[in-house]
Structure 1
Amino acid sequence: MLVTEVEYGGNAIPILHRAREVGFEVVTIPSDAVGQVDVEALRELVDERVKLVSLVHAPTNGGLVNPVREVASAAHEVGALVLLDACQSLGQLPVRADELGVDIISATGRKWLRGPRGTGVLVVCRSAADRLRPRLVDLHSGEWVGPEEVKLREDARVYELWETSVADRLGLIAAARYALDLGIDAIAAEVRSRAERLRAGLREVPGVEVRDIGARLSGIVTFTVEGRDPVAVRDELARHDVVVTTSHLTSTRIDMTRRGVEGLVRMSPHYFVSPEQVDRAVEVVAALG
């Protein structure tokens, strides 16, 4: 199995745990000069032994957007499947399996899509479904057809379990419909505009270093303040009603280690954040010095 240097801890932990259980090898694809996955290096690594490539669309610790179609093309040449982690891209960027060329997409509902916590989305293309088997099944995803015989469903609900929060699911559906009504392309354009404005403003602040990498950037803006701990910066900004979060080594250990960074401040201005609010956030950061 192949992963990238920006693999998220929430993926890395179950991947490495499963690898230890069954004995497969996990190999990291290097990044290129701008920080995105190196497609040429991938082509050198991938062969018939590789069954799955795990690709993070937009990592949690920077503005990078990975080149998904190029990765999928290289993986499919040897018959490998591509699992796209769209947790930080669904709701701010167009995410379609047919357009991106991936086989599986996983995403949470609570981030850019603005749905309830505890909800998520799993897309499995029909071309990949025959090669996959869910690890967890119950009387919703399967049927007890004989004393020692179980028959799994043949539709998408084979990946669902009986117990679920109906209210949360309805909230996720409402959030998805709201985003679709606004238009994903329109949302992406507004998010990009605010992120570019924020990066430009932060780059003018003495002692602040914007840490985003990649040729194509998302709405996630990360930075550090010289001599300030990221958590302390977050807390100080909160006292001025500027809500941000932090990203740490344990979330993206390979990439953060490679870049020599242990923590970052992360701002993620969505479409409802006004340009004036973006400017005020920059002013508050500048006042920290």
Structure 2
Amino acid sequence: MSLALQWADARPKVAGLHLDSGACSRQSLAVIDAVAAHARHEAEVGGYVAAEAAAPVLAVVDEAAAMLATDPPALVHFTALASHRGVAQPLAEMVAVCREAGVPIVVDGAQAFGHLDCNVGADAIYSSSRKWLAGPRGVGFLAVRPELVARLQRRLPPASWDVPVTVLQSFEHGEHNAATRIGYSVALGEHLAAGAELVRDRLAEVGRTARQVLADVPGWRVVERVDEPTAITTLEPTDGADPVAVRAWLIAERGIVTTACELARAPFEMTKPVLRVSPHVDTTAEDLEQFAEVLRTAP
């Protein structure tokens, strides 16, 4: 059975056409069951008792290098894949440049984790569960190299307080939803079982197909190159269409889920809002052709 069929069979049947994994993917039945089972266990024995039981379970790189060499900042924050463009940024190259300059690099992997190869030696990376990993909403992760942790100063409790709480432990000092963490761990397991490289290759294939299918839709321009190795395609209106209104119409009238990215997402780069299509591995060419036909009739 293909990866696409395995992925689809593991989930509830979709109501309509879901092309919005960059916002929130569809959780598998196993993830849903794991979250529900833990929530039920919390109701039986108490939330904190249950939580304790669950615990075990681009071309600008050269410019950046020159800048880091002459005027190095305290750290670099780098978005590996933006939410308003399906363009993969040169993550591995930036990590290498920062390492050469001795500047730590923190990676925003919200759209990249589970989508692109993020295992490139960054000093820290964070991401969410609900996007390409298809886990529960409201949970994510932060991974930090010990060398960077040693340079950090705790804020709460204040560093001046003599209490045995490390910087990373201070991030855990608060409320959390244990059930969603369990669900996220299941989603991670599913991703690894499917094969991270296989998933990345399939997402790139779906992205190429989407751009080819959508290239000839009147009134819209595909922003990304056809061979961009991501599943995200953004469509810029050329005849005055409003992506926000079109998105609302697609959901209400055709049961098709997409995202409208407004200028606030990237005010220094975007010149007009775009309609974002972010299908997952189970999306077929027929699904994308159906979307293209519907988009041709959108008001």
Global fold match (TM > 0.5): yes
Kindly state the Cα deviation for residue 215 of structure 1 after the two structures are TM-superposed: 7.9
SS at match of 2:265: coil
Aligned with 1:39 (options 44, 51, 61):
61
TM-score (norm 1): 0.76
User: In structure 2, what is the equivalent of residue 127 of structure 1?
Assistant: 147
User: In structure 1, what is the equivalent of residue 166 of structure 2?
Assistant: 153
Q: Does the CA-based 8 Å contact 1:137-1:161 persist in structure 2?
A: no
Query: Superposition pairs for residues 105-116 of structure 1, below 5 Å?
Result: 105-116=125-136
SS at match of 1:222: strand
**What amino acid maps onto 1:44 in structure 2?**
A
**What amino acid maps onto 1:65 in structure 2?**
A
Report which structure shows greater RCO (CA 8 Å, sep ≥6): 2
Kindly provide the CA deviation profile for residues 34-63 of structure 1, in whole angstroms up to 9, marking residues without a partner as x: xx3611110221136412111101100111
Q: How many Å separate the matches in 1 of 2:172 and 2:196?
A: 27
Larger strand fraction of residues:
1
**What amino acid maps onto 2:249 in structure 1?**
E
**What amino acid maps onto 1:194 in structure 2?**
V
Kindly provide the CA deviation profile for residues 65-116 of structure 1, in whole angstroms up to 9, marking residues without a partner as x: 11112111211222110011000011222322xxx12110010111111111
Q: 1:125 to 1:148 in 2, by over 3 A?
A: closer
User: In structure 1, what is the equivalent of residue 267 of structure 2?
Assistant: 253
Aligned with 1:191 (options 179, 203, 227):
203
Q: How many Å separate the matches in 2 of 1:39 and 1:84?
A: 15
Q: Does the CA-based 8 Å contact 1:64-1:215 persist in structure 2?
A: no
| Structure 2 unaligned residues grouped into runs of 5+ | 1-57
Q: Does the CA-based 8 Å contact 1:62-1:213 persist in structure 2?
A: no
Q: How many Å separate the matches in 1 of 2:194 and 2:234?
A: 27
Q: 1:196 to 1:152 in 2, by over 3 A?
A: same
| Structure 1 unaligned residues grouped into runs of 5+ | 1-35
Q: 1:153 to 1:264 in 2, by over 3 A?
A: same
Larger helix fraction of residues:
2
Q: Does the CA-based 8 Å contact 2:80-2:107 persist in structure 1?
A: yes
Aligned with 1:211 (options 200, 220, 223):
223
Q: How many Å separate the matches in 2 of 1:176 and 1:208?
A: 36
* Aligned residue-pair number: 239
The reply on whether 1:164 has 2:205 as its aligned counterpart is no
User: In structure 2, what is the equivalent of residue 7 of structure 1?
Assistant: none
Q: 1:135 to 1:252 in 2, by over 3 A?
A: farther
User: Please, what is the CA RMSD of the aligned residues?
Assistant: 2.3
Kindly state the Cα deviation for residue 248 of structure 1 after the two structures are TM-superposed: 1.2
Q: Does the CA-based 8 Å contact 1:198-1:282 persist in structure 2?
A: no
TM-score (norm 2): 0.74
Aligned with 1:244 (options 249, 253, 258):
258
Kindly state the Cα deviation for residue 153 of structure 1 after the two structures are TM-superposed: 3.1
Q: 1:106 to 1:228 in 2, by over 3 A?
A: same
Percent identity at matched positions? 28
